[in-house]
Amino acid sequence: MEPVVALVVAAGSGSRLGGDIPKALRELDGRPLVSHSLEGLAAGGVDRAVIVIAPGLDDDFAGVVAGSPIPARCVHGGAERQDSVLNGLAAIAADPDLAAARYVLVHDAARALVPADVVRRVIEALIGGAVAAIPVLPVVDTIREVTATGSATVDRSRLRAVQTPQGFSRDVLELAHQLVADQDLQVTDDAAAVEALGYPVVLVPGDREALKVTEPLDLLFAEAIVRSHA
């Protein structure tokens, strides 16, 4: 069977978290966030990983690659997240060991504690025929939309918060990101890119433990989750 490849995007600066090392290398329970991500992906059925990092940080990520539970390599990202994904997809296409992969899962390194079950659900949806499958959660907060004249409540029962890993047919994701680059579109996730190409996106249940470590408080939550598993 073709390998299931994960593209782990880790090229952001993580300025909202603070600190002087890249966010993906910030430690949680004594290991970098990205190492936790690789473990969750591997446990959920991913066979290989490409980690997209900021240029110049190869030495800093060498330990992560060496300690990865699945074969992993680093490639360099770009200015925006979508540039990083495009670079990662190009590296997969150019790698003889990876070019046979039919599916690719794009995962934010910062969603360090993604449970294996979430990863599994995404892969199963792809095997079942979905072109795009993403984990989502109901929105627990009441949301207001700010308008030109004031603000208005949004019906939250129709909203979902989107997580990663997001799974795709690799050929469709390549086309989608090419379209985004050619038309200079701005997208905050990969499902939006595939949607711009006109493909449907299948939703699978996410998990609150797959929270994105963005601000210092998120790291505290993540530490509490790790302790609760001990």
Alpha-carbon distance 137 to 206, whole Å?
6
d(CA 124, CA 138): 21
What type of residue is 64?
V
- Using Cβ positions, the residue closest to ligand C5P within the complex turns out to be 12
Nearer to ligand C5P, 125 or 213 (CB): 213
- Looking at the Cβ atoms of 52 and 72, the one nearer to ligand C5P is 52
3-state helix, strand, coil split of the chain in percent (to 5) is 40, 25, 40
- Max Cα-Cα span within the chain: 56
Question: Which CB, 26 or 170, lies closer to ligand C5P?
Answer: 26
Half-sphere exposure of residue 129, counting CA atoms within 13 Å on the CB side? 0
Tell the smallest beta-carbon distance from residue 54 to ligand C5P (Å).
7
CB of 165 to ligand C5P, least distance (A): 11
Q: Least Å distance between CB 19 and ligand C5P?
A: 14
Nearer to ligand C5P, 108 or 209 (CB): 108
Could you check whether the bond before residue 32 is cis, i.e. omega within 30 degrees of 0? no
Measured from the CB of residue 37, what is the shortest distance to ligand C5P in angstroms? Answer: 9
Tokens of 86: 């495009």
* Overall residue count recorded for the chain in this entry: 230
Contact footprint for ligand C5P (CB under 6 A): 9-12, 24, 52, 77-81, 84, 108-110, 214
> Cβ distance 139 to 161 under 8 Å?
yes
Question: 127 or 214, CB closer to ligand C5P?
Answer: 214
Q: At closest approach, how far in Å is the CB of 10 from ligand C5P?
A: 5
